[in-house]
Structures are given as C-alpha cells and as structure tokens.
Amino acid sequence: MIRNNMKLRNIFTALAVAALTFVGCQEEDRFLDEVQVSQSLVTLDVNGGSADITVTATADWKIAEVKDVWPEVVTRDENGNVTATAPSWLKANVTSGAAGETKVTFSAEATTETRELVLNLECAGATQQLRVLQMAEKIETPMSTCAQVIAGEDGKIYRIKGVCTSIANTVYGNWYIDDGTGVVYVYGTLYQGATKQFEKHGLEVGDIVTIEGPRKDYSGTIEMIDVTVLDIEKSLIKVEKVLPEGPISLEGGKTTAILTVKDGDFSVVIPEDASWLTAGEPYTVGTSTFVDLTAAPNEGGARKTTVTFKTKVGEKEYVAMADIEQEGAIAEVTVADFLAKPEGTALYKLTGKVGKIANTTYGNFDLIDATGKVYVYGLTNNGAIGSNDKKFAELGIKEGDVVTIIGTRAAYNGTAQVGGTAYLVSHRGSTEVTVAEFLAKEKSKDNWYKLTGKVTGLKTGNYGNFHLVDETGSVYVYGLTVAPVAKNDQSFPTLGIKEGDIVTLVGTRDRYDSAKVPEEKEQVGGPAYYISHETPAEGGDDNTGNEGVAGTYTHTFAQDDLGANGSPSAEVTLNGVKWNFSMVDSGSKYLGWDSNETAKGVQIGKSKDAATEVVLSTTGIAGTVKSIKVNTSGASGTDAKLNVTVGGAAFGSEVVLTTTATDYTLTGSASGEIVLKWTCTAKAIYIKSIEIVTE
C-alpha cells in the first residue's frame, strides 16, 4: 500500500539512461556445443572427500591446462611449466575422455590451507573452464564495483552489489546487474550449489542483489559466471504489466505502465535518444500507480527503448524498467543499402542468393545480391524476430537458392550482419538437371533449374552469353549474372569465367524463336545467375601453350570463333584447346555465319572470294586418336574436300563435302598433331562442329 508521505510526482530530469539491450534470440547458444560440464564449480570438503561431475562432449576431450590460482600448490615440470594434469593435491579418476558422457570424480586429502585450481577442458577447439576449490577457512571476498569487475582479470572471484535490470534466462539464471558504475552480465546463478533452479531465488527486475563469483571475458562481454546469491533486497517498485501488450502501432498511440510503488519519491526517466516517446503525469488507482506513455507516428523502422521508473527513500534509490516498442515500416533494401544502415531494431527485407552455409542448425550463411554480400546470423521460419528455433535444416534451403528474409542491422566485432534472428519470407529453390533434361522442359519463368557444363563459344561483351555443354548436349545461355536480377546488370566480367571453364548456374527454360542462329533458339534465361566455376586442370587456356586434353573433346562453333570478317585469328581457343587457323583466298578473308534454317555454322569464303585452302591444326589433344567427327559442308556449286592427318600421316579417307551439314567420321589409331585441311574450287565451306575421341 502507498504510504501517505509518498510524493507521486512526475520528475523529468535531463539524465539520460541508456537503454539496456541484450541478445535473447540465441540465449542457449552460449553453452558450448563441443564440451559441457554439469557444474562449473567443484567444492571439496576441508576434511577430505570427493565430488562428481559429468562431462558431455562431441569428440575427444582432455584437461589441457591448469591455472595456478594458488601457485605454491601447482605441480610444474622441469622447465617450470604448469603440467596439464591435476597437481598432487587433487586427484581425478580420468583427465580425458571420448565423445559422449564421462563421469569425472575429483578427490583430495584433508588440508589446513585453502587450495583452488582453474582447469581448462578442451574439445574440438573449444575450451570449458572448471574451478575446483577446497577451502580450509572462510575468506571474506571484499566488495567490488561493476567497474572493477569489468577492469579485472578472468578467474578471479568478485563480490558486487547492484540492481537487477533485466533477466535473460530464467532456467540457468542469466541476468544483468548494474551498480551505477557499469553493467555486468551474470551467466548462470547457483541455488544451494546447483544449477537450473534460478526461479527458487524469486529474483525480480528492480531487486538489489549481492552476488559472488568468478569473472570471465566472453568475446568482449564481461560476465560473472555461476554466481552465488548472498543477499536479495526486494525493490520498493515493480512494473506489474504494460497494457495493451505488444508494440504501439505504426500510426502512434498510447500504452500504460502499471506499477506497484511501496514508498518514496517516484520519477520516470525516458532516454534522450527516445524523443518519440513521452510520459504523462502519474496517477493512482487503488494501490497501483499508472503512467501513460505516448508514441508519435513512426515513419521509419521498428523502434524500442527502455523506460526507467524510480523511487527514492532517503539516499537509497530503487528502480524498475519496461521495454516499450513501436511498430515500424519494413524497408525493402539491397545488401549495399543494408550495410549502410546503423545498428538497431529497425527491420529490413532483403532478397538474394544463398552463398556458403556456415551452420545448418541455426541458419548462418552469406546472402548475396547484385550489390554485395552480407552474413546472416540465424534464420527461422516463425514469422517474427525472436529466439532461434534451430530448425533451419527443415526449410530445405541449399546454396544457390534465392531467399527473401526480414532481419535487423546487427554487427559482430565491427562486421555487419543480419540479426534478429532473421525470419524467412519466401524461398525459391531449383531442380538440378542435365542439359538434355533441361531441353525437354517447357518454357516457363516460374521454374528454375541448376545446370553444370563447359563454357564454349563465349561471346564478347559483358552479358555472359555462351553455350553450356555437358555429356548430354548443348544449350545457349542468354546472360549470366553474379546474383539474381530482373534485368542483366552486365556483372559477368567480374566472375572471371573463361572459355573451357566448368560452370554451375541456375536459370529458367526459355526460347527465342527469332534467333538468327538455330543453336541459340533454345536458351537458359532469367537471366541465369552464377553458382560456381572451375578451370579444368588439363587443356585450360592458361597462355602457356597446349597442355593437352584426353578422352572426348567436342566443340560446336559459334559466330566469331575464328575471328571477325576480314580479320581472321591466327590462333584460337576452342573449348579450352588452342588451334592454329589459316585460310587462303583472293584477299578479303571473308568469315561469316550461316543464320538460315540450314544452320551450317561458320562460313569461310564466299562466291567471289573462295577460300581455296583452310587449315585447323592443334597439338593440344593428348592420347591416341581413335576417331575424328567433323560436321562440315560446302556451298552449292563448289567442289570442296576435307583431308585429316594425325602425327603427319593420313587419318581416314578424303571426304568430299555435300551441300548439307553432315557428320563425317574418320577412324584410325594415331597420336600427334591433328591437322584438318579443306580445299575448294569456288564459293564457301562451312564448319559446324568437331568431335575427337582419344584413349
């Protein structure tokens, strides 16, 4: 009940109270996956005795280091180094173990002096600390401040007194304590020496608590771990509820904090950076105190602040806090725009392809769009920012899939990331197919397919147009980009893909009926976007000459493969193999392309400028040549022939070309330089494809 001498007034001071924030989304992640102990403090009786703990590990573990809290009782080797096993006064039935659960029994003889050790248990690169204490006489730990703990050293025992400002986990007892000099995170609270019984303390936000425990620096967060509660002074002020529950609407509005205030001078403090929120004059109804909090309309992202309620009796001040949130518009941004945003609670929608997946339990991966890359620290499917449900694997998301997610702008060690935990809005996967299977699909912009094959006939320019060839066939890729885009952004050159590389991509089944080149009619569209690529170890164009390829070599000619009209190339790379090209004609060096329905391929010479001799030769085909298949033809009215030699000897019989694009197969068994030589009396010859089989 509120006493008569209580002064209920609204004291708005200029004091700024920083909103206390903590990551609650993956609270249980703080327990090491690799190695855990049933308790991190082992106490042994002064008269001698033993104590058991359970070590749970995912792989082999060992006691790798012993920290000499009391140096005189630690065993050292001849070099003065602390030994990795327990010192002479402490006995353990095992000091290492395998994956699974291991029972470890520590024991010690009676002592007349206090002895203490910190043991480091290592497993799969993770380290779990364990303290062992045998106390001969009670040593009073001096009182410290939070600031002294923050500036202190790991493993040292501290005693502090402060206000519980927020509770993060009610099972293990993870909460924040503030004494005015700083804030320390309490990670684990013991009850009668045991864990997971935190609620028996009855600790509430606003209570004044005295605790004792060791300090630990966890990735920059200063903590006291597995603390013992020495005293709890219940607060004279408590936030009972905030109504209505949930965030204030985007349009603005009012929420009301309902408190119990037992005594003292009451005040409300709103942080300076929360100018969007104002507090009305407090009023009482029965035994409760009410404070109306009004939020202005919000034109930005979701926002949140912590309002502090205080009551002061004499020189002692009691506090209670309430988090007030307001809905915000979810801004749809690119990765580059997202990276430029400040850290905070505002929500952002991003779409991109899934890069490397670092953790398949929590959903940690790289998100890539046309503007950049950002790390997503956790993805769920629960439709709201909150704790990670560890069900990412159930979403079926794979590298290369396209996702739309919503999350907050967060950071870790100064590096930007999507936090929150982020949640999934939509997911688009792809079906992995061969080229032949792809060509059998219906044209559609809705279905996406993943293909892998060799890059051939790579066109000049920035769009990424080429033929993709696998063992089942060839298809024309009409544009390849770094990430999914609605319109080709000409990002292909940044991928570093070369002729002959093996590329994996995702695209849609498309068709361009008006294609001048029939082989470019059936297409991978979208445009397709990039997943990965590699340069074959053999036969690649590495500018050092032909290293040789073996097996089956194929190349389907594309326009300009042999150079431009009037400017033929002396050396060309066709599907990763270097060829020497030469032609003899009347001087114009005509090179064209058959764009008719006959689809004869590259045209060499024309009616008045016949190429009387055309030669393609290479030393880049390794092994013994067993067959050479050339699809070639001549123009109407010409007398064109093809002769092939391997290693300087004739390979198969002379071929007399017809006017129809025809596969001519020559067989034999030879190795060495391959020379394809065409001769003709007039007009043009055509070359469509080459296939060479070796063993």
The answer to whether the CB of 379 falls within 8 A of the CB of 425 is no
Highest-pLDDT range among 116-120, 299-303, 374-378: 374-378
Q: Is the pTM of this model over 0.95?
A: no
Q: Which residue shows structure tokens 């929590």?
A: 362
Average pLDDT over residues 356-367: 93
Q: What is the pLDDT of residue 67?
A: 59
* Whether the predicted pLDDT of 473 surpasses 90: yes
Average pLDDT over residues 682-695: 90
Q: Name the pLDDT band for 435 (thresholds 50, 70, 90).
A: very high
Say which amino acid occupies 143.
M
The answer to whether the CB of 84 falls within 8 A of the CB of 75 is no
- Considering the chain, what is the average pLDDT of its residues? 85
Domains 31-134 and 237-326 are alike in CATH topology? yes
Hey, what are 471's tokens? 């063992």
In terms of pLDDT, which residue wins out, 10 or 68? 68
Q: What CATH architecture does domain 143-233 belong to? A: Beta Barrel (2.40)
Q: What is the spatial distance between Cα 341 and Cα 511, in angstroms, rounded to a whole number? A: 41
Q: What is the pLDDT of residue 550?
A: 52
Q: What is the spatial distance between Cα 615 and Cα 558, in angstroms, rounded to a whole number? A: 18
Say which amino acid occupies 310.
K
Beta-bridged to residue 292, according to DSSP, are 256
Residues of the chain with pLDDT > 70, as a percent, come to: 88
Q: Which fold has domain 237-326?
A: Immunoglobulin-like (2.60.40)
* Whether the predicted pLDDT of 475 surpasses 50: yes
Helix (H) or strand (E) holding 147: helix 146-150
* Whether the predicted pLDDT of 19 surpasses 60: no
- Whether the upstream peptide bond of residue 244 has omega within 30° of 0, thus cis, is yes
Where are the alpha helices (H) located in 290-355, listed in sequence order? 335-339
Q: How many helices (H) and strands (E) does the chain have?
A: 3, 52
Beta-bridged to residue 650, according to DSSP, are 645
Q: Name the pLDDT band for 4 (thresholds 50, 70, 90).
A: very low
Hey, what are 613's tokens? 């001799």
Question: Which phi and psi (to 5°) does residue 149 adopt?
Answer: -65, -45
Q: What is the spatial distance between Cα 303 and Cα 492, in angstroms, rounded to a whole number? A: 40
Question: Which phi and psi (to 5°) does residue 14 adopt?
Answer: -80, -5
The answer to whether the CB of 593 falls within 8 A of the CB of 602 is yes
Average pLDDT over residues 175-197: 91
- Each residue's pLDDT tens digit, 29-54: 455 678 888 887 888 888 888 989 99
Q: What is the pLDDT of residue 80?
A: 54
* Whether the predicted pLDDT of 313 surpasses 80: yes
Q: Which fold has domain 31-134?
A: Immunoglobulin-like (2.60.40)
Q: What is the pLDDT of residue 595?
A: 63
Beta-bridged to residue 693, according to DSSP, are 552, 627
Say which amino acid occupies 612.
T
Task: Classify burial at 120, counting beta carbons within 10 Å of its beta carbon; exposed 0-12, middle 13-18, buried 19 or more.
Answer: middle
Question: What is the full DSSP assignment across 208-264?
Answer: EEEEEEEEEEETTEEEEEEEEEEEEE--SEEEEEEES-SPBPTT-EEEEEEEEE-SS
Q: Which long-range contacts (CB under 8 A, 24 or more apart) does 423-428 make?
A: 423/379, 423/380, 423/381, 423/382, 423/383, 423/384, 423/385, 424/379, 424/380, 424/381, 424/395, 425/349, 427/395, 427/396, 427/397, 427/401, 427/402, 427/403, 428/401, 428/402, 428/403
Q: Which fold has domain 552-694?
A: Jelly Rolls (2.60.120)
Q: What is the pLDDT of residue 77?
A: 57
Q: What is the spatial distance between Cα 160 and Cα 558, in angstroms, rounded to a whole number? A: 78
Residues of the chain with pLDDT > 90, as a percent, come to: 53
- Burial pattern 20-37, b for ≥16 Cβ within 10 A else e, equals eebbebebebbebebbbb
Q: What share of the chain is helix, strand, coil (3-state, %, to 5)?
A: 5, 50, 45
Show me where the domains of the chain are located.
Answer: 31-134, 143-233, 237-326, 331-428, 431-534, 552-694
* Whether the predicted pLDDT of 139 surpasses 70: no
In terms of pLDDT, which residue wins out, 133 or 225? 225
Q: Name the pLDDT band for 85 (thresholds 50, 70, 90).
A: very low
End-to-end CA distance of the chain: 97
Domain 431-534: give its CATH superfamily.
Nucleic acid-binding proteins (2.40.50.140)
DSSP helix/strand/coil, 589: coil
Q: Of 259, 294, 258, give the one whose Cα is nearest residue 274.
A: 294
User: In CATH, what number does 331-428 get?
Assistant: 2.40.50.200
Average pLDDT over residues 460-476: 93
DSSP helix/strand/coil, 123: strand
Q: What is the pLDDT of residue 31?
A: 58
Average pLDDT over residues 644-655: 92
Q: What is the spatial distance between Cα 137 and Cα 340, in angstroms, rounded to a whole number? A: 58
Q: Name the pLDDT band for 531 (thresholds 50, 70, 90).
A: very high
Q: What is the pLDDT of residue 92?
A: 87
